[in-house]
Amino acid sequence: MCMTNIVPQGSIPIIDMSNWEDLKVAKSICDAASEWGFFQIVNHDVPVEVLENIKDATYNFFRLPAEVKNKYSKEHSSSNNVRFGTSFTPQAEKALEWKDYLSLFYVSKEEASALWPSVCREQVLDYMKKSEVVIKQLLQVLMKGLNVNEVDEAKESLLMGSMRTNLNYYPKCPNPELTVGVGRHSDVSTLTILLQDEIGGLFIRGNEGDDWIHVPPIKGSLVINVGDALQIMSNGRYRSVEHRVVANGSKNRISVPIFVNPRPVDMIEPLPELVANSEKPIYKQVLYSDYIKHFFRKAHDGKKTIEFAEL
Ligand SMILES: O=C(O)CCC(=O)C(=O)O
Ligand SMILES: [Fe+2]
């Protein structure tokens, strides 16, 4: 695939979360979210064994026989909240993306016990639960950076009222130059917390033209990125940035994103605290489930989804 102007590794901020409340650390988080839309965190509160366990569980799921995994496919799954599939929107794509995934939308522990595959259920629940601490820290800091000093229950629900965890499996590809792992897109989340393995292959669009910047794997780190919902709610101050994953000719790769989202029934728009002070809103109010439907109706198309909410 065309990867013009690949910028050397190491440009994306790496933020040490051990003193996350320190004003300097908080500033580096907010700056990273507005300038890069992407950063990595180290020394966070998600224990390394939780990360190792979820990686093992991901391999264990994808190692299952095809007929077992297919029980969770669109045709066979007993619930829309559990979905095994290939590519992104096969019906809308010219060429399929070289990726299998298991997508788990969290409703309750009871539903997870009843519906999620047992080879990965506990590990995903644990990864989500432990990540919640870090998600709350990041959101608190990011809101403060917008002068939103109180994250009350309603605001917390708006920012992180629903969560989806995907287990991504990118099998090695005989002709990697003919396809992609994931095409150019921005996430529709508030924030995405992504665990990647040591293979590499995730690139984000740089600020200039056709620059693509590699997100280098760092053991024990988590990749954080701003999604469209936070770009909208921050009235464009925090940016969701286009990214893509290349197909790999010699190695399998896995990644495990948690998409931290508003609830489907929420209306999202620039936060009232921001537009109260005569700042002009640049996005309109949209029902989050409509936004998601718009995203999934089409093949990956860069940053186009957000046009749906532009004024
Ligand atoms: O696998 C990765 O590194 C990124 C995956 C991704 O962008 C996504 O699932 O939205
Ligand atoms: Fe993504």
User: Is the CB of 214 inside a 6 Å radius of any atom of ligand 1?
Assistant: no
Residues, beta carbon < 5 Å, ion ligand 2: 187
- Does residue 89 form part of some domain? yes
119 lies in some domain: yes
Q: Is the Cβ atom of 202 under 6 angstroms away from ligand 1?
A: yes
Residue 212 forms part of a structural domain: yes
Q: In sequence order, what are the beta bridge partners of 23?
A: none
Kind plus residue range of the DSSP H or E element containing 132: helix 121-144
For residue 1, is it within any domain?
no
Residues 211, 217: Cα–Cα separation, whole Å:
19
Report how many domains make up the chain. Answer: 1
pLDDT in tens, 197-213: 999 999 999 877 778 99
Residue to substitute in 202, 212, 260, 292 for testing ligand 1 pocket (most ligand atoms within 8 angstroms of CB):
202
**Does 23 reside within a domain?**
yes
Q: Would you say the CB of residue 269 lies under 6 angstroms from ligand 1?
A: no
Instruction: Please indicate whether residue 182, judged by its CB atom, sits closer than 6 Å to ligand 1.
Output: yes
Span 48-70, mean pLDDT? 98
DSSP assignment of 17-41: GGGTTSHHHHHHHHHHHHHTSEEEE
Residue 243 CB less than 6 A away from ligand 1: yes
Q: What is the spatial distance between Cα 256 and Cα 310, in angstroms, rounded to a whole number?
A: 30
Domain housing 305:
6-309
Q: If you compute the radius of gyration of the chain from its CA atoms, what whole number of angstroms results?
A: 19
The secondary structure of residue 283, as a DSSP letter, is: B
Residue 135 lies in a domain: yes
Q: What residue owns the CA closest to ligand 1's atom 10?
A: 187
Give yes or no for residue 10 having a pLDDT over 90: no
Return the ligand 1 atom nearest residue 202 CA. 3
Confidence of residue 1 (pLDDT cuts 50, 70, 90): very low
Which residue, by CA, sits nearest to atom 3 of ligand 1? Answer: 202
Question: Within a domain: residue 264?
Answer: yes
The percentage of the chain sitting over the pLDDT mark of 70, rounded to a whole number, equals 96
pLDDT for residue 106: 98
Mean pLDDT, residues 218-247 taken together: 98
CATH code of 77's domain = 2.60.120.330
> Does residue 291 belong to any structural domain of this protein?
yes
Does ipTM top 0.85?
yes
* Tokens 């979360």 found at: 17
Instruction: For ligand 1, say whether the CB of 97 is within 6 Å of any of its atoms.
Output: no
Taking the CA of 40 as reference, the closest ligand is 1
> How far does the centroid of ligand 1 lie from the alpha carbon of residue 165, in Å?
11
Q: Is the CB of 103 under 6 A from ligand 1?
A: no
pTM: 0.96
